[in-house]
Amino acid sequence: MFPVDKIRADFPILKREVNGKPLVYFDNAATSQTPQVVIDAIVDYYSNSNANIHRGVHTLSQEATDLYEKARLKIQKHFNAKESYEIILTSGTTASINMIASGFSDLLITGDEIIVSALEHHSNIVPWQMLCEKTGAVLKVIPMLQNGTLDIAAYDEILSDKTKLVFCNHVSNALGTINPIKEIIEKAHKVGAAVLIDGAQATPHIKPDVQELDVDFYVASAHKICGPTGVGVLYGKSAWLEKLPPYQGGGEMIETVTFEKTTYAGLPHKFEAGTPNICGGIAFGVALDYMNTIGFDAIAAYEHELLQYGTGKLQEIDGLTIYGTSDKTAVISFNIEGIHPYDIGAILDKLGVAVRTGHHCAQPIMNFYNIPGTVRASFAFYNTKKEIDVLVASVKKAAMMLG
C-alpha cells in the first residue's frame, strides 16, 4: 500500500484551508507543493551556509560551493548523465530552452528545418520561432491526433536531411500525453538532427535516463518536482555543450579576461554566468532525494490509480468531455458542454479545490479541439481518492449552478 497519509504529513501546506474548506490541490502540473525537508534545507542554507560560491577561500564560501556541487552530482545521478559537467543549473525549463535556442543561432542557415510537436507548451514554440526569424530556418510541426497523441507517420514525412533540430515534450502539460520520445530521438538521429526533450511535465512522474534515451538535451524545472521556483536543469551531451557558444557573458563563466580577449571557462561554468540560485540548487538536490526515497515506480503506480479513479468518476457526469485519452500521466483535462472552463474553476476555488483553467500555455492544442481552454486537474503522489471525490462533487455542483 502506498503510504499516502505519511507522505501528506510531509507537506505543511496540505493542512491549510481555502475559502473555509480543506485545500484540495490539483494544480500540480503548474507547480508541485514543497515538503518540509526542502523547506528546512532552504532555511538551513540561509541560517548557516549563505555565501557566494566558487570564489572565496573562506570557510562559508567553500561550504556553500561544496553543497552546490553536491547538488549537481545528485542531479547528474538522477538523470543518469555521464558527466557532472553536462548538468547546467539554470533558472528553469524556459531558461534552459532559450539557452539552446540562442546557442543554435550561429549554427543554422537559411533553409535548415526545425521540427516541433503540436503538443508543445509555448515555451517550446516561441524560442524556435524567434530562432527561425533570426536564421531563416523553417519551422515544421508534427501534427496531433484526436486522442491527444502525435502523428508519428506524419513525423516520418517531415523529417529530412534538412532537419537540424527536433523539439518535443516528454509529457504534454495540457493533456498529460506521454510521447514516444525514444522513437522520436532515434528517427531524428538517423537524419543527423539534434533533439531537445522538454521534461518539465515528465520529471514529476518518470525518472528519465538521458544516456539510455541518447537524447542531446533534456530540460526540467525543480518547482514541478517538489523543489523551489527559480531553478532548473539543462542536460546537454558534452560534445554539444562544447560546441555551443555561452549564453551570457559575465563573472564565473570566464577563464581569463583582458580588454583584447576573453577565454571562456570549461563546462559547466561556461553556461553559468553570474551568481546562481545557490540555495535553489541545493534545495533541488534535496527534493530529488525526497522523491527518490519514495521511489518513482511507486509514485507512477499510485498516480495511475488516481488517474483511473478520477477518470471513471468524472466520466459519469453528463456532458463532460475529457481531452487526451492515450497513455498519460495523472492529468485530466476536461470541459462540460455549454460551460466556460473559467467559470467551473472559479466555483471549484470557492469549494477549496485548486485546478488550472484556460489554454495552459498550449494554444495550438486548444485550437485543434476548437475550444477556448479546459479545466485541468493534475494529480501528485500526495493526493488521495477522497480528494478526487471532493473534486467530482464540486464539479457536479458547478455544473448544476452554471448549466
Q: Which residues are catalytic?
A: 361
Q: Which member of 14, 24, 29, 53 binds ligand 7TS (CB under 6 A)? A: 29
Q: Which member of 102, 117, 201, 329 binds ligand 7TS (CB under 6 A)? A: 201
Under the binding rule (CB under 6 A), the answer on residue 310 touching ligand 7TS is: no
Phi, then psi, of 139 in degrees rounded to 5: -95, 125
Candidates 89-97, 104-112, 333-341, 382-390; binding stretch for ligand 7TS (CB under 6 A): 89-97
Residue among 198 and 272 whose Cβ is closer to ligand 7TS: 198
Residue 59's CB is within 10 A of a number of other CB atoms, namely 10
Q: Which member of 93, 135, 179, 384 binds ligand 7TS (CB under 6 A)? A: 93
Candidates 33-41, 50-58, 90-98, 264-272; binding stretch for ligand 7TS (CB under 6 A): 90-98
Under the binding rule (CB under 6 A), the answer on residue 123 touching ligand 7TS is: yes
**Nearest residue to the partner ligand 7TS, using Cβ:** 173
Candidates 92-100, 157-165, 189-197, 278-286; binding stretch for ligand 7TS (CB under 6 A): 92-100
Under the binding rule (CB under 6 A), the answer on residue 30 touching ligand 7TS is: yes
Phi, then psi, of 168 in degrees rounded to 5: -155, 145
The residue count for the chain: 403
Q: Tell me how far apart the alpha carbons of residues 292 and 204 are, in angstroms, rounded to a whole number.
A: 11
Under the binding rule (CB under 6 A), the answer on residue 333 touching ligand 7TS is: no
Residue type, 27: D
Question: Contact, 176 vs 328, CB < 8 A?
Answer: yes
Q: Tell me how far apart the alpha carbons of residues 403 and 397 are, in angstroms, rounded to a whole number.
A: 10
Question: Contact, 281 vs 218, CB < 8 A?
Answer: no
DSSP state of 188: H
Under the binding rule (CB under 6 A), the answer on residue 173 touching ligand 7TS is: yes
- Of 324, 391, 308, 319, the closest CA to residue 362 belongs to 324
Question: In the bound complex, what is the minimum distance in angstroms from residue 3's beta carbon to ligand 7TS?
Answer: 28
Q: Which member of 86, 198, 252, 272 binds ligand 7TS (CB under 6 A)? A: 198
Question: In the bound complex, what is the minimum distance in angstroms from residue 256's beta carbon to ligand 7TS?
Answer: 33
Question: In the bound complex, what is the minimum distance in angstroms from residue 224's beta carbon to ligand 7TS?
Answer: 7
Q: Tell me how far apart the alpha carbons of residues 255 and 121 are, in angstroms, rounded to a whole number.
A: 36
Query: What would the x/- binding string for ligand 7TS be over residues 133 to 172, using CB under 6 A?
Result: ------------------------------------x---
- Of 37, 42, 74, 63, the closest CA to residue 285 belongs to 74
Q: Kindly give the residue spans of alpha helices, DSSP state H, lying in 167-295.
A: 181-190, 210-213, 238-243, 278-294
Q: Tell me how far apart the alpha carbons of residues 135 and 102 are, in angstroms, rounded to a whole number.
A: 11
Residue type, 165: L
Q: Which member of 74, 78, 121, 187 binds ligand 7TS (CB under 6 A)? A: 121
Question: Contact, 364 vs 173, CB < 8 A?
Answer: no
Binding positions for ligand 7TS, rule: CB under 6 A: 29-30, 92-94, 121, 123-124, 169, 173, 198, 200-201, 221, 356, 360-361
